[in-house]
Amino acid sequence: MDALLDVDDLVVRFATPNGDHTAVRGVSFSVAAGERLGIVGESGSGKSVTAQAVMRLLGPAATVESGAVRFEGRDVLAFPRDELRRWRGAQAAMVFQDPLSSLNPLVRIGRQVTETLREHLGMDRGAAAVRAAELLAEVGIPDAAARLRDYPMTFSGGMRQRVAVAIAVSCSPRLLIADEPTTALDVTVQAQVLDLMDRMTAELGTAVILISHDLGVVSTFCDRVLVMYGGRVVESGTTEEIVGAPRHPYTRALLGSIPAMTGPLPRRLPSIPGSPPQAGARPPGCSFASRCPLAEDVCHEIEPRMEGGVACHVATAAGERP
């Protein structure tokens, strides 16, 4: 199957007061039409920066140093301004953790939904208003037509996130990137929003990239998972492989540190010492080596390459499965 989105050896660098810092260090992946890809990682893993680079939403301090982002074979990083504007929203859309950051608090909900429809689909005011009400009703906003006149602040967090999803899918995009879309929501509302994304994307055949720190959320939604650590992909595979037979010591430790909802509990949780690496100086070798229970000398010296779905000197050599 041809890839809808193809990211090749992406490197993103940030200028900080303490010098430059490479947040994304050679990330490659592709997503096919209708596929759901999960990107899992902790703070500083580079997962959100990767998404922002794909959408060309990086802030002024960040630059794509090298690599390519291709959408249906077209070079996204070379899009001129007006082509970028046509592409974003119509063909590729994004949903953020905090819908208030994508909704303008001073503009009525109705206008924010119709704006996208008018700009990308060329609808007139009346048709856009009718469609906007339909969209809000589809995402489960009660009394949708009347609520078009309300401001975002009068909506609950869950309702705002529904509106953000409605806007994102309003032009039937081919690609939807959702960055921690349910992290700020209660668990029952999270279930509602994930169901909504399920339904909308299944109906439209949209490819989805779901970015989350929560392996539970990702594994109930995605076909395939990338695990990121220290700006790189350390493991990739189908959801079954990643969750059922993780190979990278980091993926295993991450899964092991989540308390089970049923069955016996350990007296102490298996935990990973230290914290994820943040911006700044990076020792040579594998980023995870200093926290890894299996690290050998080579791990501190040479950065492991991605081979057969895992970037680890030890896991590949041992080939062990839990």
Partner 1 sequence: MNVVEVEDLRVHFSRRRGVTVRAVDGVSFTVAPGETLGLAGESGSGKSTVARALLRITDPAGGRVRIGGRDIAGLRGAALKTFRRQMQMVYQDPYDSLDPRMRIGATVEEALIVRGLPAGQRPARVRELLERVGLPAALATRYPHELSGGQRQRVSIARALGVDPAVIACDEAVSALDVSVRAQILNLLKDLQEDSGLAYLFISHDLSTMRFAADRIAIMYLGRLVEIGTRDQVFGAPRHPYTQALLAAVPVPGARRTGPRVRLAGEPPSPADPPAGCAFHPRCPLAEEICRTVRPELAVKRGGQLTACHLAPEPERDSEVTP
- Can you give the binding site for partner 1, defined by CB under 8 A? 42-43, 156-159, 186-192, 194-195, 198, 213-217, 219-220, 240, 243-244, 253-255, 257-262, 265, 267-273, 275-276, 278, 291
Q: Which is nearer to partner 1, 66 or 220 (CB)?
A: 220
Q: Which is nearer to partner 1, 280 or 308 (CB)?
A: 280
35/78 Cα distance (integer angstroms) = 25
Q: Which is nearer to partner 1, 192 or 316 (CB)?
A: 192
Least Cβ distance, residue 202 to partner 1 (angstroms): 11
Check if the beta carbon of residue 248 is closer than 8 Å to that of residue 315: yes
Least Cβ distance, residue 221 to partner 1 (angstroms): 8
Task: Give me 51's structure tokens.
Answer: 């998404």
Q: Which is nearer to partner 1, 214 or 303 (CB)?
A: 214
Q: Which is nearer to partner 1, 80 or 262 (CB)?
A: 262
Task: Give me 274's structure tokens.
Answer: 């230290």
Which among 209, 196, 194, 183 is positioned nearest to 97, based on CA atoms?
A: 183
Output the CA–CA distances (angstroms, integers) from residue 138 to 7, 43, 141, 254, in the order listed. Answer: 32, 34, 7, 36
Which residues make beta-bridge pairs with 8?
68
Check if the beta carbon of residue 299 is closer than 8 Å to that of residue 285: yes
Least Cβ distance, residue 68 to partner 1 (angstroms): 30
Least Cβ distance, residue 177 to partner 1 (angstroms): 19
Least Cβ distance, residue 62 to partner 1 (angstroms): 22
Q: Which is nearer to partner 1, 129 or 286 (CB)?
A: 286
Contacts for 264 with CB less than 8 Å, ≥ 6 apart: none
Least Cβ distance, residue 276 to partner 1 (angstroms): 6
Check if the beta carbon of residue 233 is closer than 8 Å to that of residue 41: no
Read off φ and ψ for residue 103, nearest 5 degrees: -95, 135
Check if the beta carbon of residue 109 is closer than 8 Å to that of residue 163: yes
Task: Give me 141's structure tokens.
Answer: 């906003």
256, burial (CB in 10 Å: exposed 0-12, middle 13-18, buried 19+): middle
Task: Give me 242's structure tokens.
Answer: 């990643």
Least Cβ distance, residue 138 to partner 1 (angstroms): 15
Least Cβ distance, residue 273 to partner 1 (angstroms): 7
Q: Which is nearer to partner 1, 96 or 288 (CB)?
A: 288
45/40 Cα distance (integer angstroms) = 9
Q: Which is nearer to partner 1, 104 or 192 (CB)?
A: 192
